[in-house]
């Protein structure tokens, strides 16, 4: 059984907290945090371990500003290499417009260790708030989020337990709804193609719910193709060709995102495959740029811009009032669009 999450700290942690947790003086803790002074390797390790366990982040602007805050909102996202997160950032900018707050962006690359480092640096500047993608974090990152005395909004996903506030969609619902639509259209030999698997927890949740919903209709995933790298049209072409070569009897392909789905569609059109009569296709995200494809892809709108805007509005309200109870939960509804690649004529 999962142990209940302890209540989130509402005051900034201090050198004294780390001192008491590590059993050394505050001056020694200060030397370690500033990487100065003669401190033994064993003592340094003990202090850093205590700081990580508590989620302590040193304040780089201590004494510089009376408010101990800067007018920046830290935004940590996995990537800027596809079209998903720039749209989220557009929403964040819209939500902060006219507030005097400015977003500053860090990239985690879907790597828990890098997310820890980016989070540590962001919080050390004492921003006015923090927006971070996803609900899954390392123990160290989660400790920092819980100890942060600023409003924290986790975004994109509501399938889990947030540290503070959360804005997103249910990816499990999105995966299940797509499976139901595919099954109702009469497809039975279904393949799945995903990038950043299994590092992308949201894609993993969609896949789990997708396979579960298919099972309830008496259908099993016939084959799948996973890729750990980034998304792109070329990669979608390559993955689709490889999967169809291995399993030529597949009659539907569900992709973890629209970019590789678009590559899959281009491969099918070049190969003379009848879409959606012989082979149906669907992606995820609802990227408007792909509206110019020869056929409109079936997809799910993940409400990206709205998620960014509502998250920013939570931060802005907290900054304006100077108080924030936290714990807001905003679950938006994913919107399935069949396009021209799902239902047979």
User: 176 versus 12: which is more confidently predicted?
Assistant: 176
290: pLDDT strictly greater than 90: no
In angstroms, the CA 281 to CA 91 distance is: 29
State residue 16's pLDDT score.
Answer: 93
Residue with tokens 């789990």: 208
Bridge partners (DSSP) of residue 282 are 254, 298
pLDDT category at 68 given cuts 50, 70, 90 is: low
Range of the domain at 293: 171-302
Q: Is the peptide bond before 198 cis (omega within 30 degrees of 0)?
A: yes
Residue 31 lies in a domain: yes
Phi, psi of 162, deg, nearest 5: -80, 160
Residue 208 falls inside a structural domain: yes
Residue 189's pLDDT band, with cuts at 50, 70 and 90, is very high
Rounded to whole angstroms, the Cα distance separating 313 from 344 reads 42
Q: How high is the pLDDT of residue 67?
A: 56
> Domain holding 298: CATH number?
3.40.50.2300
CB 53 within 8 A of CB 76: no
Cβ atoms within 10 Å of 197's Cβ, excluding its own = 17
pLDDT, residue 65, reads: 52
Count of domains observed in the chain: 2
Say how many C-beta atoms besides its own lie within 10 A of residue 232's C-beta.
16
Burial of residue 124 (number of CB atoms within 10 Å: 0-12, 13-18, 19+): middle
As given in the structure block, the two tokens for residue 235 are 């990669």
Integer Cα distance of 59 and 307 in angstroms: 29
The whole model's pTM is what?
Answer: 0.87
What is the token pair recorded at 214?
A: 């298919």
What is the distance between the alpha carbons of residues 158 and 206, in angstroms, rounded to a whole number?
Answer: 12
> Quick check: is 122 in a domain?
no
Kindly give, in sequence order, each residue whose CB lies less than 8 Å from that of residue 154, ignoring residues fewer than 6 positions away: 131, 132, 133, 134, 135, 162, 163, 164, 165, 166, 167, 168
By residue count, the chain amounts to: 345
Instruction: Answer whether residue 87 is part of any domain.
Output: no
Q: What is the pLDDT of residues 74-116, one digit of tens each?
A: 999 999 887 889 999 999 999 999 999 999 999 999 999 999 9
What is residue 97's predicted lDDT score, i.e. its pLDDT? 96
Cβ atoms within 10 Å of 169's Cβ, excluding its own: 25
Contacts of 179 (CB under 8 A, 6+ apart): 209, 210, 211, 212, 213, 214, 217, 254
In a domain, 101, yes or no: no
How many whole angstroms separate alpha carbon 208 and alpha carbon 194? 12
Evaluate whether residue 236 is within a structural domain.
Answer: yes
Residue 155, domain member (yes or no) = no
Residue 4 has pLDDT above 60, yes or no: no
The tens digit of pLDDT for each residue in 300-345 reads 999 999 999 999 999 999 998 877 777 899 999 999 999 999 987 6
Whether residue 2 is predicted with pLDDT greater than 80 in this model: the reply is no
Apex 208 CA angle, 204 and 209, nearest 5: 120
- For 25, 47, 210, 225, 240, the CA distances from 247, given in Å and listed in that order, are 65, 55, 20, 11, 10
Is residue 142 situated within a structural domain? no
Q: What is the DSSP letter of 319?
A: H
| 3 pLDDT more than 70 | no
Mean pLDDT across the chain: 92
CATH number for position 48? 1.10.260.40
């Amino acid at each position: 059984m999962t142990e209940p999450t302890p209540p989130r700290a509402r005051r900034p942690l201090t050198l004294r907290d780390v001192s008491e947790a590590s059993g050394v003086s505050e001056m020694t803790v200060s030397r370690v945090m500033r990487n100065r002074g003669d401190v033994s390797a064993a003592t340094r390790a003990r202090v850093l371990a205590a700081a990580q366990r508590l989620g302590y982040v040193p304040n780089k602007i201590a004494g510089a500003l009376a408010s101990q805050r800067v007018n920046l909102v830290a935004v940590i996202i996995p990537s800027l290499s596809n079209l998903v997160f720039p749209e989220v950032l557009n929403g964040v900018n819209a939500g902060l417009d006219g507030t005097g707050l400015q977003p500053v962006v860090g990239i985690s690359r879907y790597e828990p260790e890098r997310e820890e480092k980016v989070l540590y640096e962001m919080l050390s500047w004492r921003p006015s708030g923090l927006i971070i993608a996803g609900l899954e974090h390392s123990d160290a990152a989660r400790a920092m989020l819980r100890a942060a005395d600023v409003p924290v909004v986790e975004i994109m996903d509501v399938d889990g337990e947030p540290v503070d506030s959360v804005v997103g969609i249910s990816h499990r619902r999105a995966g299940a709804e797509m499976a139901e639509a595919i099954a109702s259209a009469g497809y039975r030999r279904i393949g799945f193609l995903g990038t950043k698997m299994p590092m992308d927890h949201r894609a993993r949740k969609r896949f789990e719910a997708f396979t579960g919903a298919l099972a309830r209709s008496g259908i099993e995933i016939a084959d799948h193709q996973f890729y750990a790298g980034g998304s792109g049209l070329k990669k979608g072409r390559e993955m689709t060709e490889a999967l169809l070569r291995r399993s030529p009897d597949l009659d539907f392909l569900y992709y973890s995102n629209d970019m590789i789905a678009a590559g899959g569609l281009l491969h099918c059109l070049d190969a003379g495959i009848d879409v959606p009569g012989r082979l149906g296709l669907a992606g995820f995200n609802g990227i408007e740029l792909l509206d110019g494809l020869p056929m409109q892809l079936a997809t799910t709108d993940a409400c990206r811009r709205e998620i960014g805007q509502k998250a920013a509005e939570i931060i802005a309200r907290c900054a304006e009032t100077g108080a924030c109870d936290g714990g807001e939960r905003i679950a938006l509804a994913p919107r399935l669009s069949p396009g021209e690649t799902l239902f047979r004529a």
